[in-house]
Structure 1
């Protein structure tokens, strides 16, 4: 970062990168949250895009004002001491859970599409994530902003090629039972989708906002970040819509479509996807360690980073789709508390 803080590009890329991990880029999140509703799912994605822009800016602006070092300062500011304390524990737990999901997703990629042991993928992701987090916040932001353009390019290229093979069916809905039973309609899906992703990105966006001087830079970064998330989500939705009957038991829908296009496309998407899963794992591990080692000696942060990565490696053996289908909606309901607190501050309490 420069002395004036992060650029609009780095802010937008960091925002996108902390959200588009294993769940988003594989298509599993879009499939479970929006594809089950058919055409109204697109309305849900549009609503989610607007919410990403609004709440992304709120979090970064709060981080700037509070000089946030982790999510702790922002949730206490938005939710007060009682709800803030409860949400603090939930977010900290979720950061570990999200890290486990990323590690599980890497294992699934290695097993299904690179024909390597899942445990090898789990171990590689845990190791590289820990090494990056040990380099500090600058290493985290730089690693995320580098990978994001390649991920979005891969999503759009694969999506377009898939739609050229099989045209999108805007009115198709995923087979009954494919989505999470905790998400019952598209407006709720939009809110839950944003709320749990906001909880995940909070760990990076808060400290990032503290490193930016001008609010207009934060606003532009939030706008382009939210728009990028919405555009990528819409492309995945459209690409999947022509194949929904085939995807009920598929853990990695977008990689499945890439494999149907060609073997080189499958390998390319898999490699880019592993890199993007890595960026979200980095954000999750950084946020978790920053919170549990608040105001402690740097040596304790090193030990916490290594121990947390090892524990997430073990938890990631539970399986990818199971974690996305259960953990994310549950945390999404908790995240509504934070969204409500932020909205209350910016609409009524802010002076």
Structure 2
């Protein structure tokens, strides 16, 4: 591996791992919060969170091990998982390509809507123009920046913002617990 030119998310493994945790926090926080509201009980929400976290971690480890086992083949490729799928079967690679395009679309559209809706009311001319300008900027960036570099920049920035969000959530939860305990102590006296 030391002889291969690999794209790195950070200068060391700890910061790269922290960035990935933050990325997952940032992108999944709203979804998981909305999903948690549909749970019938706190126990069900906790069990779902635990099982989902374990399943997600196992999937990440399988993908990571698959990439490491084929590091010489995937080094320097823009989409390593697509390369691996192509090694297995061209039909599988075609299916993965469609999945990637759908994934990009279903990620980009809600994010684009979220940004535009922060500045303009939905379905107004300002909303439409801002959406077109942002989409155009995204297309220009996407056409001029290699996919792996773009993903590396976006994921790392999102990761560190997500770490900040995680710290703020932990501080807020800690304050709430501390406040509740002080109130209980004061009531007991």
Local SS of the residue matching 2:12: coil
CA shift for structure 1 position 211 = 6.2
CA gap of 1:228–1:290, structure 2 versus 1, over 3 A, is farther
CA gap of 1:343–1:236, structure 2 versus 1, over 3 A, is same
In structure 2, the partner of 1:272 is 99
CA shift for structure 1 position 246 = 2.2
CA gap of 1:221–1:287, structure 2 versus 1, over 3 A, is farther
Residue 258 (1) aligns with residue 122 (2): no
| Structure 2 counterparts to residues 213-292 of structure 1, below 5 A | 216=42, 218-292=45-119
CA shift for structure 1 position 198 = 2.2
- The whole-number CA distance in structure 2 between the counterparts of 1:174 and 1:238 is 17
Local SS of the residue matching 1:310: helix
CA shift for structure 1 position 177 = 4.2
- The whole-number CA distance in structure 1 between the counterparts of 2:114 and 2:54 is 24
Question: Does the 8 Å contact 2:36/2:45 carry over to 1?
Answer: no
CA gap of 1:210–1:254, structure 2 versus 1, over 3 A, is closer
CA shift for structure 1 position 286 = 3.3
Choose from 2, 12, 17 the match for 1:190.
17
- The whole-number CA distance in structure 2 between the counterparts of 1:191 and 1:262 is 34
Question: Does the 8 Å contact 1:240/1:253 carry over to 2?
Answer: yes
Choose from 205, 218, 243 the match for 2:31.
205
Number of residue equivalences? 175
Residue 307 (1) aligns with residue 133 (2): yes
Q: Which consecutive unaligned segments of at least 5 residues does structure 2 have?
A: 181-189
- The whole-number CA distance in structure 2 between the counterparts of 1:250 and 1:324 is 13
CA shift for structure 1 position 229 = 2.7
Choose from 172, 175, 178 the match for 2:6.
178
In structure 1, the partner of 2:183 is none
Residue 326 (1) aligns with residue 156 (2): no
CA RMSD of aligned residues (A): 3.0
CA shift for structure 1 position 205 = 2.5
Question: How does the TM-score come out when normalised to structure 1?
Answer: 0.43
- The whole-number CA distance in structure 2 between the counterparts of 1:291 and 1:229 is 31
Q: Which has the higher contact order (CA 8 A, sep 6+)?
A: 2
Question: Does the 8 Å contact 1:255/1:266 carry over to 2?
Answer: yes
1:224-283 per-position Cα deviation (integer Å, ceiling 9, x unaligned) = 443343232122112112211222211111111111112212112222222222222234
CA gap of 1:283–1:233, structure 2 versus 1, over 3 A, is farther
Question: Does the 8 Å contact 1:175/1:245 carry over to 2?
Answer: no
CA gap of 1:222–1:284, structure 2 versus 1, over 3 A, is farther
CA shift for structure 1 position 213 = 7.2
| Structure 2 counterparts to residues 1-351 of structure 1, below 5 A | 173=1, 175-180=3-8, 182-185=10-13, 187-202=14-29, 204-205=30-31, 208=34, 212=38, 216=42, 218-293=45-120, 296=121, 298-299=123-124, 300-317=126-143, 318-350=145-177, 351=180
